Structure formats: C-alpha cells, structure tokens
Structure 1
Amino acid sequence: MEIQAFGYLGLGASNLDDWAAFATSTIGMQSVDRASSMRAFRMDDRKQRLFIDRTIEPGTQVFGWEVANAAVLDSLAARLEAAGVAVKREPAALADQRCVSGLISFADPAGNRLEAFHGAHIADTAFKASRDVSGFRTGPQG
C-alpha cells in the first residue's frame, strides 16, 4: 500500500475567524500565521494539519494523504492514471502552501479533492496547545 497516513485536512469557508476560534479554543490547536485568505493550525510537529481557505469554495474539503517519498508518489500517480483517474501534478507553489515537498491531486468517485504528498515540513518550534488539554498527545502516535 502506498498511502501511509492521513496528513492534513483543508476546508473552504468564508468565516475564517469562526474557524480560528473553534480550532484554538475548542480543539486546542496552535494557530499558524498564514495569508489573509487562509488560516492554518498545528497539532503536532508538522507545520500544519488543518487549513481553512476562503479561496476554496465554501463546503469543499481537501484531504491530504501521505506517502513515503517522491518515487512512491510517482508510482501512485501512475497506478491512478492506469486505472483511468485524472491526476494533476501540482506546482511547487501549492506544495509550499500545503507545507509539503511535492503533491498530486485527483478526485474520488464522489468528486472530493484528494491530494497525495511526500515530505511534510516539520516546524522549527515545539507544538504548543492553545488551551490546557488533558492527555493531549502528539508525535508519531498522534
């Protein structure tokens, strides 16, 4: 199996401040400084795990799936294409926005946007929960 883990979730929404309050006050995620059209949040050593983007149609979700490396990503793209799935190799600018080294995108049968990526960027500072959370665990075991 080429996919190793669920890596990130993106949501299209116009109410960025409401989502920021929910992510930090309710869930305890750490807010990450991002562009004016986006809010991003951490929950472990990764640079981001959740992003809310007003440039994405409200109600749309983006699911990011992690693979081991660039070769595995290429292999996954080839398998999808061989199965008749349209695959887009995304530009470096989008990979930077997603805080990964490289990614492809495709749609599932219901039309949801799926992204597969490799090289998730690790933050240079320790995760700090935005509120006291009893038993909050981060790292490899999540």
Structure 2
Amino acid sequence: MDDPLPQRCLLCGATAGIRRDGQWHCAVCDWRVGDAPDPDLPPPRVDVVYYLRWRERIKIGTSHRPRQRLAAILHEELLAFEPGDRALEQRRHREFADLREGGEWFTADPRLLAHIAAVAGGIPPWDAYARWVADAYRR
C-alpha cells in the first residue's frame, strides 16, 4: 500500500511512497527519498516511442524529451510510451504500415490499439517514463 512520502520525490515529484528496507522509496519511480541526482552529471537520455491519439488517429513518434515534444503536437490523449529510439519507431511504422494515413499518423485500428494496451501494461505513461528515468540515473 502506498503512503504519503515525507517529501516530494526529487525525480518525478510524486507524493506517494513505499517503505522498504527501512527507507522511503517513491511509489511511482522507485527513487529513494532523500537521494539527489548528481548535479555535476548531465541528466540521462531516455528515448521513448510515444503513441498519441487525435480523434480516430494515432501518432507513433519518438523523442528523448517527451514533455517538450508532446507540448508541440496537437493531440487529445497520450496513450503510452515504449522505451526505444528511432529504430523501434521505424519498426512500429513498418509493423502498422497498412494503417498509415500519412506521415506518422495511423488509423486507430483494434490491432494497433491492442498493441498500445500491451505496451502500456496498465501503467500511466508518465509513471512508466519516470521509472525509466530513475533507472537510468541509477545506472
């Protein structure tokens, strides 16, 4: 069960935590509360393939700065992130080529929606991204 953290998570800003091994960890990204990323190191690069919905269309794109990228794209809903770079994005474009409507936009077909649901695994996209960023910091 998640409990309130003694302070916001320094990585993702979440307020819910889990007490494990006598220490608080963020319930979203699993960052140990009280630890700070090394300010002398650049933040890690975490590439993602994103799936955005606009009406009955899905955009499959990629970014290593998803907050900035998604802010620049008109969409109704962020459906999922998948860890991966341009090579994975291109593989997804080929996989769903028969659904392409133009550019990186695809028809919201049940097959594509099932793939997105499997990729998401029931985890909110920004929570998954926060976990991957925390994992990258730990490496």
Shorter-chain TM range is: under 0.3
TM-score (norm 1): 0.25
Larger RCO, structure (CA 8 Å, separation 6 or more): 1
Structure in which a larger fraction of residues adopt helix: 2
TM-score (norm 2): 0.25
Q: Which has the larger radius of gyration?
A: 2
